[in-house]
Amino acid sequence: MGCVVRILLTDPTMEVCLLSLPKRGQHMFSQIRSLTACFALGLLLCSGAAVASPVVTATSASGLPGSTVTTTMRIVPDSPASVDMGSLIGWNLVLNWGAAPLSFDPASSTLRFGADAPIGLTSFLASLPPDLTVNHDALGGFYRFDWADLNSGLDPQTLLNRLAQGVLLSASFNILANAAPGSYEIGFEQGAGPSSLTDAVLSEFQYASVTSGDPMRVVVERSPTVPEPGGLSLMVCALAVVLVSARRRWGGVPQ
């Protein structure tokens, strides 16, 4: 099998050198040039274009024990992408905070597709076909939904084509009243598997954490120190004694 690739020499000196060679040398040079061209073409065809995965980023939020905070996770398609986010037939999303002193509030969380207005997470899930399972394990410290188009008769494109512009999850967490100060990371993987996206040709993208930047986390701040009631009374008495002594010294109080 021969190679049909032809390489043109653009350097005139190369053409002169080639023409000045004996016929046998010209034939050998031509063979070398053809083999080199075939090898380069093979590398190009085998390597193909670079395939990128969607980019997953997140933010952190901070608050005091007993407060509610919102942290975000964003998925943006890259091009050329390993999975077509505009024609999904499967979507699994996991939030795993484990033993962190947090509780997830799905009713106050939202999804935003591209530049669209945010929509409530629970409202969006209610619009999906019935091939959906939601598992909110408050004690286990995770929330996940698993959706797949199991020949439900509904075109997933009509429901999820907005994902082609990316999606932003704004997750609402309540910080428990007894939470210890610290930084608590939220992952995207649980025992049943990581978060994932599957398109119509069964290409799949899985992610257990962010693919760029810092992870999703909630930072619990330390509450301001408040003196005990007994200690506060002692401080007031001591301040009063200091003030009376000062006034006597300056002649403000009769002896």
Q: What is the pLDDT of residues 197-232, one digit of tens each?
A: 988 888 999 999 999 999 999 999 998 865 555 555
Please give the pLDDT value at position 151: 61
Q: For residues 150 and 131, give the distance between their C-alpha atoms in angstroms, rounded to a whole number.
A: 7
Helix axes 12-20, 23-47, angle to 10 degrees: 130
What does the pLDDT look like over 77-93, one tens digit per residue? 886 778 888 788 889 99
Q: How many CB atoms lie within 10 A of CB 69?
A: 18
| 8 Å CB contact between 81 and 51 | yes
CA distances from 143 to 38, 120, 134, 166 (A): 54, 16, 8, 21
| 8 Å CB contact between 78 and 52 | yes
Q: What are phi and psi of 117, to 5 degrees?
A: -70, 150
What does the pLDDT look like over 115-171, one tens digit per residue? 889 999 999 888 876 678 999 999 999 999 998 876 655 555 555 667 888 999 999
CA dihedral sign of residues 8, 10, 16, 20? negative
Could you tell me which residues come within 8 angstroms of residue 126 by beta carbon, excluding any fewer than 6 positions away? none
